[in-house]
């Protein structure tokens, strides 16, 4: 399998997408979404990554992040996925949820790779944040972006009582 290139140290925001294993809808319940939100908060606190936007979908996650220049984001996202997978697997084990396995027999929550795009201009950052906010509407999960509580949309509308604190972005 070819190695995906990640371009760190460019002082740009990054649009990161990763999917659940075989597009399984692991993020359909509050506990699993909570595990992912907790790890997003950890990105902010532990790694000083600015969270500019996000959306949690039932089977994938989009993040718009601005990492510190000295950080290798791919490694940090790998840690993020490992920690959130442990929490999701624990929850599924307690509730009898379906857990998919890889061919080697290991439990799987996330696909092994992620999509990572450097946002080189403020316009691209705003485009990616808007993409996050519009995603649940396009998929028919909400009528309007403000109806989907698992994104940064309402934060951008001035509401600070959302499920996750973000840093925001101003062009």
pLDDT tens for 28-72 read 999 999 999 999 999 999 999 999 999 999 999 999 999 998 888
Dihedral sign for Cα atoms in the order 25, 31, 33, 39: negative
State the pLDDT at residue 171.
Answer: 67
Distance, in Å, from the CA atom of 166 to the CA atom of 53, rounded to the nearest integer, reads 7
Instruction: Tokens for 139, please give them.
Output: 């998929």
Grade residue 10 by pLDDT with cuts at 50, 70 and 90: low
SS3 content of the chain, % helix, strand, coil (to 5): 40, 20, 40
| 157-171 per-position pLDDT tens digit | 998 887 888 998 876
CATH class of 13-156: alpha beta
State the pLDDT at residue 79.
Answer: 94
pTM over 0.85: yes
State the pLDDT at residue 42.
Answer: 93
State the pLDDT at residue 2.
Answer: 47
Dihedral sign for Cα atoms in the order 128, 65, 70, 115: negative
* Annotated domain spans of the chain: 13-156
């Amino acid at each position: 399998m070819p190695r995906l290139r990640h371009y760190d140290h460019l002082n740009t925001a990054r649009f990161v997408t990763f999917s659940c294993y075989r597009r399984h809808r692991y993020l359909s319940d509050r506990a699993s979404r909570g595990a992912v939100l907790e790890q997003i908060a950890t990105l902010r606190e532990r790694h000083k990554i600015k969270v500019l936007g996000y959306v949690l979908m039932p089977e994938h996650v989009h993040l718009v992040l601005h990492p510190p220049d000295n950080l290798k984001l791919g490694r940090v996202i790998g840690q993020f996925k490992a920690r959130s997978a442990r929490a999701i697997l624990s929850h599924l084990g307690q509730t009898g949820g379906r857990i998919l396995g890889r061919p080697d027999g290991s439990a799987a929550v996330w696909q092994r790779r992620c999509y990572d795009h450097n946002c080189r201009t403020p316009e691209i950052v705003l485009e990616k944040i808007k993409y996050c906010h519009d995603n649940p509407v396009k998929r028919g999960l909400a009528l309007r972006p403000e109806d989907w509580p698992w994104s940064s949309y309402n934060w951008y509308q001035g509401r600070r009582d959302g499920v996750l604190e973000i840093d925001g972005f101003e062009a």
